[in-house]
Amino acid sequence: MERKNAWKSYNEEERTSLFGLGERYREFLNNGKTERECVKQGVEMAKARGYRDLADLIAAKEAVKPGDKLYSVCMDKAIMLFVMGEEPLEKGLNIVGAHIDSPRMDLKQNPLYEDSDLAYLDTHYYGGIKKYQWVTLPLALHGVVAKKDGSLVQIVIGEDENDPVVGVSDLLIHLSGDQMQKKAAEVISGEDLDLIVGGAPLEGEDKDAVKAGVLKLLRDKYGIEEEDFLSAEIEVVPAGRARDFGLDRSMILGYGHDDRVCAFAAMEALFSLKETPKYTCCCLFADKEEIGSVGATGMRAHYFENAVAELMGLTGGYDGLVLRRALANSRMLSCDVSAGFDPSYAGAFEKKNAAFLGRGVCFNKFTGSRGKSGSNDANAEFIGQLRRIMDDANVAFQTAELGKVDVGGGGTIAYICALYGMNVIDSGVAVLSMHAPWEIINKADLYEAVKAYAAFMKKAG
Ligand code: MN
Ligand code: MN
C-alpha cells in the first residue's frame, strides 16, 4: 500500500501552478508570523474576493442567501470564512479547520531589565519548543501594545533588512564542559530565554543607563512607556523570510508551517470554488491550539457555534434544535501538520504508517498518545467517503500516525469539534523539524492539500 511520490505525476502546467502556489504561500508566511497577522491577511484576502463581515450583516439584519460570502473574526486572533451553500444549514457544513498560532516566545508583562551593561527583555515561551533551538538566532518582535487611552500600537521589528534584530545568547563552547553534560531538556531553561535588546548607555543617566536608552527608543519611535508592556502582546519569532529549500526548490523552509500551511491551503481551496456549493463551506482558523485550545480564541470557546447560530438567524431564523442538527450533520477536516518521516531519525517512526514528504496530503485517523489517549478517532465510514472523493479528484494522499506507538503523541482541534457529533478527521501536510524555529514542508504536499480541501468542500456530505 505504498503511496507514490506526487511529483512523479505532474505535467509542466501542474508544476508551474505548484511553484506559483509556493510563492504565494511564502508571502503569506512572511506577512503572517503571529495569529493576529494571519487574521489580518485572511480579512484582506477575503474582502478582496467579495467577502463581507458577518457583524455588518447582523447589525443591518440583512438576510443571507446561497452564494453569499462572509467572514467573522474573534478578537483579532481567530477567523472564520463562509460560502453559503444551496442546502439549508441544518444539513451540515463542510468545514476545513486549522490553527494559526505557532510555538514561540512571548514577552513577559514586566520584561525589561539591565544586567552588566546589557538590556534584556524577559520571555515566557509558548507551546512545545526545544529551548536549545532558540538561542543564537536572529529574532524579531511582532505584536501589539494596548495603551490606556484605548489605542493599539502595532509592532514589527526585525523583518526589514535595515531593521536591527534581537536574540538569546548561548555559552561559548570553551566554557561549556558542565553545560554539555546536561540533558537536552535542561541545556537551556525557560528562564534562560532572555532577549538581548541593547548595549549602549543613554547619555546623562547613571543607573540602568542601557535600559534607559532602550526605553527612550521605544518612547521616541512607538510612543510606548515601560508600563505599557503590562498590556502588550509581543511575540518573539525567528527573523527573516521563508525560503525555497533544497537545490531543486522542491521544499520551503519557514517559521510557523504548523499550522499556517493548512490555513493557507484551506483559504486557497475556498477561494477556488467557482460555483455555489451544495453545502455551506467554512474555513475555521483557531488560536491557542499549541497550548490546549483554551481561552476565548481557542477552539474550545464558542465563537464557531455562535457564528453558525448567527448565520441561521439571517437565513430564516435561529432555532436551537436546528443549530444542534447543523453541527451534528457537519463534516470536517481538522487540518494540522503531520510528522514527516525523517531518515535521520528513522527510529522514531513506523515506516508503513508514516507521512512522507512529497507523497501528498495526509489523513490521520487518530492522534493522541500511548493507547490513543486524547484522540479523535475518525469513523471508518467517513474515511471511506473521503477515499472516494480524493480518488475522484485525483488527489495524492497518504495515511499516517504520529510516530511509533509509545514514542510520543500530540493532539489537534479535531476532538473538540467532534463533541458536536460531526464527522471529523485530521488531515494535513507533513513537516520536518516540527516546532523548530525553521520548519520544512514539501511544495507538492501543499499543492495536494489545496486540491484535497477543495474537493472535500465541493463533494463531502
Ligand atoms: Mn499544529
Ligand atoms: Mn504544533
* Three-class SS of 331-342: EEEEECCEEECC
Q: What is the mean pLDDT of each run of 10 residues along the chain (461 residues)?
A: 93 98 98 98 98 98 98 98 98 98 98 98 98 98 98 97 97 98 97 98 96 97 96 98 98 98 98 98 98 97 98 96 98 97 97 97 92 90 98 97 86 92 97 98 98 98 95
Q: How far is the CA of 337 from the centre of ligand 1 (A)?
A: 5
Q: How far is the CA of 18 from the centre of ligand 1 (A)?
A: 23
Q: How far is the CA of 412 from the centre of ligand 2 (A)?
A: 8
Q: How far is the CA of 175 from the centre of ligand 1 (A)?
A: 37
Q: How far is the CA of 289 from the centre of ligand 1 (A)?
A: 7
Between CA 461 and CA 89, with CA 378 as vertex, the angle to 5 degrees is 30
State whether residue 12 is helix, strand or coil.
Answer: helix
The position carrying cell 489580518 is 40
Q: How far is the CA of 34 from the centre of ligand 2 (A)?
A: 14
Q: Which residues contact 10 (CB under 8 A, 6 or more apart)?
A: 18, 444
- Number of the ligand closest to the Cα of 427: 1
Q: How far is the CA of 289 from the centre of ligand 2 (A)?
A: 7
Element (DSSP H or E) covering residue 441? strand 439-442
Q: How far is the CA of 113 from the centre of ligand 1 (A)?
A: 33
- Number of the ligand closest to the Cα of 412: 1
Element (DSSP H or E) covering residue 266? helix 257-271
- Number of the ligand closest to the Cα of 98: 1
- Number of the ligand closest to the Cα of 104: 2
Q: How far is the CA of 380 from the centre of ligand 2 (A)?
A: 26
- Number of the ligand closest to the Cα of 285: 1
Closest CA to 336 of 273, 285, 270, 372: 285
pLDDT at 403: 87
Q: How far is the CA of 328 from the centre of ligand 2 (A)?
A: 27
Q: How far is the CA of 439 from the centre of ligand 2 (A)?
A: 11
- Number of the ligand closest to the Cα of 261: 1
C-alpha span between 148 and 381 (Å, rounded):
54
C-alpha span between 264 and 443 (Å, rounded):
13
Q: Confirm if 142 and 267 have CB atoms less than 8 A apart.
A: no
Q: How far is the CA of 336 from the centre of ligand 1 (A)?
A: 5
C-alpha span between 257 and 336 (Å, rounded):
9
Closest CA to 269 of 7, 461, 449, 32: 449
- Number of the ligand closest to the Cα of 126: 2
- Number of the ligand closest to the Cα of 100: 1
C-alpha span between 121 and 197 (Å, rounded):
7
Q: How far is the CA of 230 from the centre of ligand 2 (A)?
A: 27
Q: How far is the CA of 411 from the centre of ligand 1 (A)?
A: 8
Q: How far is the CA of 409 from the centre of ligand 2 (A)?
A: 11
Closest CA to 5 of 355, 258, 347, 456: 355
Q: How far is the CA of 109 from the centre of ligand 2 (A)?
A: 24
Q: Confirm if 378 and 424 have CB atoms less than 8 A apart.
A: yes
Q: How far is the CA of 258 from the centre of ligand 1 (A)?
A: 5
Q: How far is the CA of 50 from the centre of ligand 2 (A)?
A: 32
Q: How far is the CA of 346 from the centre of ligand 2 (A)?
A: 20
C-alpha span between 134 and 123 (Å, rounded):
12
How many CA atoms are closer than 13 Å to the CA of 395, on its beta-carbon side?
28
- Number of the ligand closest to the Cα of 428: 1
Q: How far is the CA of 259 from the centre of ligand 2 (A)?
A: 7
Q: How far is the CA of 335 from the centre of ligand 1 (A)?
A: 8
- Number of the ligand closest to the Cα of 102: 2
C-alpha span between 281 and 270 (Å, rounded):
8
